[in-house]
Structure 1
Amino acid sequence: MTTTKMYLKEIAYEKIKKLLIMGELEGRVISENELVDTLQMSRTPIREALQRLQNEEFLEIIPKRGVYIKEITLKEASDLMHVRVAIEVYSMERIAELLTDRHIADLKANVELQKDAVERLDVYEFLKLDLEYHESFLKIYDNHHFVRTLNNISDRLIQHGMKVFNRETFRLKKSIQEHEEINALLVQKDFNGAVKALERHVLGGRDFYFR
């Protein structure tokens, strides 16, 4: 496979996934022809991107009928949030000897960017930064499988979160406050408190996602 083909496939994947997450293809049966026109790309990278997105359960490809967008169910959302709790809390419990001042500075900087996104009412940017914030603990623990798992499941949760947070933007500021609480506990080296705060934060987010 040429580098150009791989590059186009990745571009198609990222563009279609963003359309799905932003809700711009929600509730619709789409066709390859429509995506060719929308993305101004050839069929091959689009077809490969759709197959990848089907594997990630964003959509379902039905031959001769089209591409069906898959809504996230309450059961799926609940299962995914419990995966998040498991890997994030597990990682947080094990980073006491690994956490540096540089890590804390990066966490604080991320929260400041979250605040800026909220001020601009950019929900999508906030959700991406939120993912990066939580991903930081997995990276500090240095478990790449955890990082990949979080990325895979968070894309589906962001897709659902776009609807919820656009409707009730006050929750964004509450999330930021909870991130600041976690940061403060880490500065104090209160790792038990940070673990509990993180668990409350993720589980509280789960309950909010189900509204």
Structure 2
Amino acid sequence: MPTSNHLAELPSSSAAASSAPRKRGRAAAQANARVGLPDLTAHLSFDSHEPIGKQIFRALREAIFVGQMVPGTPLSEKEVSDMFQVSRQPVREAFIKLVEAGVLQVLPQRGTFVKRISPRRVREGRFIREAIETAVVRKAAVSITDEQLQALAENLREQKLAAKANDTAAFLALDEAFHYAIARAIDCTAAWETIQDIKAQMDRVRYLSLPDVSPLDLLIRQHAKILAGLRAHDPTAAEDAMRRHLREILVSLGPIAERNPAWFEADEPERVPLSS
């Protein structure tokens, strides 16, 4: 699925993959097969200026988000370093970041495992993301250029094509690029980078919700309303549309948890509800 040149610079797009991965040896392939890890080597490029640890973090994070590694999947530094044919240090760095993001857990004397989704952390992440992105879109509504609006419109057209093809992976990549482009419109990509770990649990639920609980057409209509507010240079309309869009996950969270109980931890409601 091609994306607009204006939106192709998303640093953590799930559509990104290296064109020059290092080939693994036979022993590494056999070790990977024993533990049932997905082959993620296409995500690693030794020609990239990006640190190897960050690339490994993103590859593992995406595999967890799209269900290639379900809750309870064991991971070890040795197995992952063998798969990528790197030392353990960058793998250790990736593991630490994944633990901080709440998608891995370390159990003493047992090992490291993919963690279940915390409904409470989903709501917390949404609350923080809403605070940041509504502020971003308000400012973007004032300063966004015609060229930037055109790029968002092209992205929206591609979202419709992805939905028509029922290509959820392409849709999610375009969705990420859409939100990232709004942050770029105010020259504040740090805002998007700030919420990457915060929204980790949201992203896992979002993948599970597509397309049955959160139909792609509904999400596209919500994106279209955000774009309409930006086109009208109406900060209030843009903010309201963004807020409604980001609250969609509160509608899907309950049904998704009921359908996938093995994926979720027991809920721990907040003392002060964050869903209103």
TM-score band (shorter)? 0.7 to 0.9
CA distance change for structure 1 residues 112 and 154 in 2, over 3 Å: closer, same or farther?
Answer: farther
For the 8 Å contact 1:127–1:158, the answer to whether it is kept is: no
- The runs of at least 4 aligned residues of structure 1 exceeding 6 Å deviation read 3-6
Moved more, 31-40 or 10-19: 31-40
The RMSD of aligned alpha carbons is 2.7
For the 8 Å contact 1:108–1:183, the answer to whether it is kept is: yes
Structure 1: which 5+ runs fail to align?
none
Take 1:34 and 1:122, find their aligned partners in 2: how far apart are those partners?
Answer: 31
Moved more, 144-153 or 70-79: 144-153
Which amino acid in the other structure matches residue 87 of structure 1? Answer: I
More helix by share: 1
Take 1:154 and 1:71, find their aligned partners in 2: how far apart are those partners?
Answer: 15
1:102, distance to aligned residue in structure 2 (A): 1.0
Take 1:5 and 1:201, find their aligned partners in 2: how far apart are those partners?
Answer: 35
Output one character per residue of 1:117-171: Cα deviation in whole Å (capped at 9) or x when no partner.
22332323322321221222222233344221222223332122111215x1761
Q: Does 1:196 align with 2:196?
A: no
Q: Does 1:80 align with 2:125?
A: yes
Output one character per residue of 1:85-142: Cα deviation in whole Å (capped at 9) or x when no partner.
1111112222343111011111111112222222332323322321221222222233
Correspondent of 1:44 among 74, 89, 94: 89
**Percentage of matched positions with identical amino acids:** 24
1:77, distance to aligned residue in structure 2 (A): 0.7
Q: What pairs with 1:127-206 in structure 2 (closer than 5 Å)?
A: 127-166=172-211, 168=212, 171-206=215-250
CA distance change for structure 1 residues 111 and 184 in 2, over 3 Å: closer, same or farther?
Answer: same
Take 1:6 and 1:19, find their aligned partners in 2: how far apart are those partners?
Answer: 19
Q: What pairs with 1:90-129 in structure 2 (closer than 5 Å)?
A: 90-129=135-174
Which amino acid in the other structure matches residue 186 of structure 2? Answer: Y
Take 1:90 and 1:102, find their aligned partners in 2: how far apart are those partners?
Answer: 21
DSSP-derived class of the 2:199 partner: helix
Give the TM-score taking structure 2 as reference length: 0.66
DSSP-derived class of the 1:195 partner: helix
Take 2:112 and 2:138, find their aligned partners in 1: how far apart are those partners?
Answer: 42
Count of residue pairs the alignment pairs up: 209
For the 8 Å contact 2:138–2:235, the answer to whether it is kept is: yes
Q: Does 1:23 align with 2:62?
A: no
For the 8 Å contact 1:29–1:66, the answer to whether it is kept is: no
Q: What pairs with 1:52-71 in structure 2 (closer than 5 Å)?
A: 52-71=97-116
Structure 2: which 5+ runs fail to align?
1-46, 256-276
CA distance change for structure 1 residues 19 and 101 in 2, over 3 Å: closer, same or farther?
Answer: same
For the 8 Å contact 1:135–1:150, the answer to whether it is kept is: no
Residue 12 of structure 1 corresponds to 56
Give the TM-score taking structure 1 as reference length: 0.84
Output one character per residue of 1:15-60: Cα deviation in whole Å (capped at 9) or x when no partner.
2112111112112241324434554554333222212211222101
Take 1:203 and 1:154, find their aligned partners in 2: how far apart are those partners?
Answer: 13
Which amino acid in the other structure matches residue 186 of structure 1? Answer: L
Which amino acid in the other structure matches residue 54 of structure 1? Answer: V
Take 1:187 and 1:8, find their aligned partners in 2: how far apart are those partners?
Answer: 40
Moved more, 32-41 or 106-115: 32-41
